[in-house]
Structure 1
Amino acid sequence: MLRSGTVIRLHELQACGKSIREITRETGHSRNTIRKYLRANGIPEPRSRKKRVSKLDPFKSLLDQYLEKGIFNCEVLLRLLKERGYTGGITIIKDYVKPRRPPRQAPAVQRYETKAGYQAQVDWKICEYIDLNGEVRKIPVFSMVLGYSRAMYIEFTKRCDIHSFLRCLMNGLEYFGGVPKTMLTDQMKTVILGMGDDRKPRWHPLFEDFAATIGMIPKVCRVRRPQTKGKVERSVQFIEQNFMPGRSFTDLGDLNRQARQWCDEQNRRIHGTTGERPIDRLAQEKLGMLPSPERWAKYRFEPRKVSRDGFVSYDSVRYGVPWRYSGREVKVRDINGFIEIYCEKQLIARHEKQYRSRTLVMCEDQYANLSTAQGYAYPRPQGVQIPVQDVEVRPLDVYEHLVEVGA
């Protein structure tokens, strides 16, 4: 069959007054072919060829039944058809199945719209950056999204442990100005220790106590079902693809200041799903009241032990305390850009937070009177030597007189 351009060329040659013989000589096509296309109105319809009998034809109805049952593996279909007497190959089976095979897709899920003030979704994400030495480093970021308003809060940390999680969670709730009724996470080890025999989560004791204190119900989504918390899943992807690329920062504190500013900007933009600004919908969330600072202050503290030289290690930075507390158990909290160290509810040291690892921060008068006390915080137990007392010498008649008086 000739192409459209060739057919047009034949008509042009005929219009120029050339004969069939001249057109044949110029194009190389046979006379009959040229006559057929010149006589036809347009391009002639191809003749229908007699359909070739296929070895698969007697089995197509059976093959359709297998396809309706969801069997699209051609190796399996070949085996099943051979059991029924099929003698052909697998290629014609593949040609038959290909246009009937459904496209690959994830299973459909139902969309849930969260009520105002009902749910917050929380997750961790590991991002990457290049340090001053040109090496690729990893850094975790905490992300929290309110289900109704889509208001977002993120915070970068050095650790993903339970104490960092609670600190970020408290900072996020303070940023939103209230507490939602429920919080949804995946089965992260910072909040859940495992599943019990009753298939109910065994919560981390510290997290469970925290949730009960602030009046929030924790929930976890099923394993390998991240779409259950799709709002925060999209937010962590947004952080990785929108916030981090090309981001320059000096240290973790600078990075978190930029992250807070970025959250403010995003929460003031029109959200693609709701068509409203998250900051405007946040006012409609009707979140529960934040607990008093005294109620959740204890969850900001982390236990540490003071080294012999009077330092406490926190986020890879060593903070000094008076040497008399060496070897003792203390509690540390990170609050408002400062590191506060307490011993039995007494503040013993307060330092401006440092972000560079292996930094050493001395305490004022950290080693005062250390030499005099010879390194001991308390006096060592000692005996006391006293002078010899003189004994009074009395005459014997004194004692005889006393005996007579007694008689």
Structure 2
Amino acid sequence: MLSMEFVAEIRRRHFVSGESISSIARSLKLSRPTVRKALKAEAEPNYQRQHQPTPKLGEFQAQLIDWLELDAKLPKRQRRTAQRLFECLQVEGYQGSYGPVQRFVLSWKQQAGHRPAMTPVFVPLAFPAGETCQFDWSHEVVVLGGVSQTIKVAHFRLTYSRQMFVAAYPRETQEMVLDAHVRAFAFFGGVPKRMVYDNLKTVVDAIFVGKERRFNRRFLTLANHYLFEPVACTPESGWEKGQVENQVGNIREWLFTPIAKFENFAALNDWLAIRCLELAGRRHPQQTTRTIAECFAEEQPLLKAVSAVFDGYVEKTLRVSSTCLIRVDHNRYSVPAEWANRVVSVRVTADRLRIVADSQIVAEHPRRLGRDQLICDPWHYLPVLEKKPGALRHGAPFQQWELPVSIRVVRDRVLKQDKGDRAFVELLLMARTLGDGGLDTLEVACDLTLQTGVVAAAVVLNEMRRLTETARPKALENIKLSMPTLQLEPMADCSRYDRLRSLRHEH
């Protein structure tokens, strides 16, 4: 606060002596705005009083101090704000306004060494087209298949055009992150130069000084495939990717309020992709004369074209149990019997599992997202049935097997016959030898057998052989051949035969 004498001196040095504002500011160690303000002042400034009376708060100050001292010992998240303290005082009988409480709390914290947090100040950012995309996760509540559940939503946002893309997943595992990038780049029709992230465990393995990071090797494989530069934010500095941070709140309001209801994740993600295109019709927040879609049309050609889709799997090495099963995420999946008690590689993606052995895919299953589920392919156990046909009746893989109606009818009748287990296994073995169309052939053979009224495994086998036997070539007499015709036909000469006979007698 400048005294009136100080103000008068500044005015005299400038208006009488002609000294410049900069010179006065340097000599008096003041800012130039302060000097300018003093030059405009002709009367003594009227400052707001520094101490305001608080008659209604007086008797409650001791209680307020006790609460502040108690809160100071708690973690920052658990401390009460001035507004919450004001509400607590009202419960105790305080009749005054909020202002005195707020000023008292601020004064107490300053005296206790608690400085109020500075209001964040930011620099406006401008991003070139095709350069940067920001990524983040959010938690949303949806109803899938009639069940309310919390899901994870992957958010992408191109910083120039503001074009967004979102995809829903059951959790934030690495294969989900990889799959989200594959979907996003397909949606954008290209890849930006840089991708900005939080320090996700699925992306960053270690945080060093400054911006230096050690990225996850599998994630770097994705980055090298699409040739983008991964950039990790400073910890607890969400403003470094503020666009996608704001998008999280907007998407929650626009797409998940009220609660979205779909049959499964596939239907939900199809709808989310359509809504992202529709929301691109909104006005661009900076280029207000254009829509987001128009800005994206300008940015999209500058994205790097996708030459090949990345196979976004995470590979694990597992040992197959004696029951031909492997365990992935609390669920069990079957493997062909010849790999029982051996080690295989399992490639896990967001929606599938592929079992690899000897550099070949030996089994594949849709991925299940629940717990304690058994996912079996009955064909994997056929070699076991060949040796133990009795397992057909109570084997879990065969109880869940959805066979065509005609095969089920034949199976039920054959199993009631003597040695019916082994007989039906022979039908399955025959179907396996026929390859991919074997089950269809077995279904037709069972239909034909049921029409005869005599249901037996031998009859079904006979029908399958008849259906698959190689067709015989047509008889030659039934084929009209175009034969060449002679212009001069030879004459029959019987005398030649007589001459040969006479020569024989002579010798």
Which of 259, 266, 281 aligns to 2:272? It is: 259
Find the counterpart in structure 1 of residue 212 from structure 2.
200
After superposition, what is the alpha-carbon deviation per residue over 1:303-344, rounded to whole angstroms, capped at 9, x for unaligned?
252542334455665443312223422232448x65543334
Find the counterpart in structure 1 of residue 304 from structure 2.
288
Alpha-carbon shift at residue 240 of structure 1 (Å): 2.0
After superposition, what is the alpha-carbon deviation per residue over 1:276-300, rounded to whole angstroms, capped at 9, x for unaligned?
333332332201122424xx33x43
Alpha-carbon shift at residue 167 of structure 1 (Å): 1.8
Alpha-carbon shift at residue 231 of structure 1 (Å): 1.2
Alpha-carbon shift at residue 104 of structure 1 (Å): 8.6
Alpha-carbon shift at residue 262 of structure 1 (Å): 1.9
Alpha-carbon shift at residue 363 of structure 1 (Å): 1.5
Aligned counterparts of 2:336 and 2:183: Cα–Cα separation in 1: 30
Structure 2 CA distance for partners of 1:230 and 1:349, relative to 1, 3 Å: same
Structure 2 CA distance for partners of 1:316 and 1:272, relative to 1, 3 Å: farther
What is the DSSP-based 3-state SS (H/G/I as helix, E as strand, rest coil) of the residue aligned with 2:150? strand
Aligned counterparts of 1:301 and 1:104: Cα–Cα separation in 2: 43
After superposition, what is the alpha-carbon deviation per residue over 1:8-45, rounded to whole angstroms, capped at 9, x for unaligned?
xxxxxxxxxxxxxxxxxxxxxxxxxxxxxxxxxxxxxx
Which of 340, 343, 354 aligns to 1:328? It is: 343
Indicate yes or no: 2:240 matched with 1:224. Answer: no
Aligned counterparts of 2:313 and 2:324: Cα–Cα separation in 1: 22
What is the DSSP-based 3-state SS (H/G/I as helix, E as strand, rest coil) of the residue aligned with 1:284? helix
Structure 2 CA distance for partners of 1:171 and 1:288, relative to 1, 3 Å: same
Q: Relative contact order, CA 8 A, sep 6+: which one is greater?
A: 1
Find the counterpart in structure 2 of residue 158 from structure 1.
170
CA RMSD after TM alignment: 3.7
Indicate yes or no: 2:257 matched with 1:278. Answer: no
Aligned counterparts of 2:103 and 2:175: Cα–Cα separation in 1: 57
Indicate yes or no: 2:143 matched with 1:127. Answer: no
In terms of mean alpha carbon deviation, does 173-182 or 234-243 score higher?
Answer: 234-243
TM-score by length of 2: 0.48
Aligned counterparts of 1:62 and 1:260: Cα–Cα separation in 2: 59
Alpha-carbon shift at residue 185 of structure 1 (Å): 0.9
* Residues 162 and 292, structure 2, Cα contact 8 Å, conserved in 1: yes
Find the counterpart in structure 1 of residue 88 from structure 2.
none
Find the counterpart in structure 1 of residue 438 from structure 2.
none
* Residues 338 and 350, structure 1, Cα contact 8 Å, conserved in 2: yes
Give the residue type in structure 1 aligned to 2:162.
R
Structure 2 CA distance for partners of 1:205 and 1:199, relative to 1, 3 Å: same
Structure 2 CA distance for partners of 1:347 and 1:292, relative to 1, 3 Å: same
Indicate yes or no: 2:250 matched with 1:234. Answer: no
After superposition, what is the alpha-carbon deviation per residue over 1:126-185, rounded to whole angstroms, capped at 9, x for unaligned?
222457787x63211111111112111111112312222122112211221111111111
Structure 2 CA distance for partners of 1:61 and 1:106, relative to 1, 3 Å: closer
TM-score by length of 1: 0.59
Structure 2 CA distance for partners of 1:109 and 1:289, relative to 1, 3 Å: same
Find the counterpart in structure 2 of residue 167 from structure 1.
179
Find the counterpart in structure 2 of residue 214 from structure 1.
226
Matches within 5 A, 1:3-402: 106-129=119-142, 137-197=149-209, 200-245=212-257, 246-275=259-288, 276-285=290-299, 286-293=302-309, 296-297=310-311, 299-303=312-316, 305=318, 307-308=320-321, 309-314=323-328, 318-326=332-340, 327-334=342-349, 339-352=353-366, 354=368, 357-371=371-385
Alpha-carbon shift at residue 206 of structure 1 (Å): 2.0
Give the residue type in structure 1 aligned to 2:345.
V
Aligned counterparts of 2:377 and 2:369: Cα–Cα separation in 1: 17
* Residues 304 and 313, structure 1, Cα contact 8 Å, conserved in 2: no
Aligned counterparts of 1:271 and 1:322: Cα–Cα separation in 2: 55
Give the residue type in structure 2 aligned to 1:329.
V
In the alignment, structure 2 segments of 5+ residues that lack a partner are 1-46, 52-64, 66-99, 108-115, 389-507
* Residues 310 and 322, structure 1, Cα contact 8 Å, conserved in 2: yes
What is the DSSP-based 3-state SS (H/G/I as helix, E as strand, rest coil) of the residue aligned with 2:262? coil
* Residues 334 and 376, structure 2, Cα contact 8 Å, conserved in 1: yes
Aligned counterparts of 2:183 and 2:222: Cα–Cα separation in 1: 14
Alpha-carbon shift at residue 105 of structure 1 (Å): 7.4
Aligned counterparts of 1:220 and 1:198: Cα–Cα separation in 2: 10
* Residues 340 and 347, structure 1, Cα contact 8 Å, conserved in 2: yes
Structure 2 CA distance for partners of 1:301 and 1:343, relative to 1, 3 Å: farther
Aligned counterparts of 1:332 and 1:316: Cα–Cα separation in 2: 16
Give the residue type in structure 2 aligned to 1:257.
D
Give the residue type in structure 2 aligned to 1:288.
K
What is the DSSP-based 3-state SS (H/G/I as helix, E as strand, rest coil) of the residue aligned with 2:171? coil
What is the DSSP-based 3-state SS (H/G/I as helix, E as strand, rest coil) of the residue aligned with 1:143? strand
Structure 2 CA distance for partners of 1:314 and 1:257, relative to 1, 3 Å: farther
After superposition, what is the alpha-carbon deviation per residue over 1:360-403, rounded to whole angstroms, capped at 9, x for unaligned?
332141101115568xxxxxxxxxxxxxxxxxxxxxxxxxxxxx
Equivalent residues, number: 281
Alpha-carbon shift at residue 125 of structure 1 (Å): 1.0
After superposition, what is the alpha-carbon deviation per residue over 1:249-290, rounded to whole angstroms, capped at 9, x for unaligned?
122222222222222222344344443333332332201122
What is the DSSP-based 3-state SS (H/G/I as helix, E as strand, rest coil) of the residue aligned with 1:368? helix
Aligned counterparts of 1:357 and 1:258: Cα–Cα separation in 2: 27
* Residues 141 and 156, structure 1, Cα contact 8 Å, conserved in 2: yes
* Residues 144 and 263, structure 2, Cα contact 8 Å, conserved in 1: no
Structure 2 CA distance for partners of 1:277 and 1:332, relative to 1, 3 Å: farther
Aligned counterparts of 1:157 and 1:269: Cα–Cα separation in 2: 26
Give the residue type in structure 1 aligned to 2:305.
M
* Residues 252 and 355, structure 1, Cα contact 8 Å, conserved in 2: no
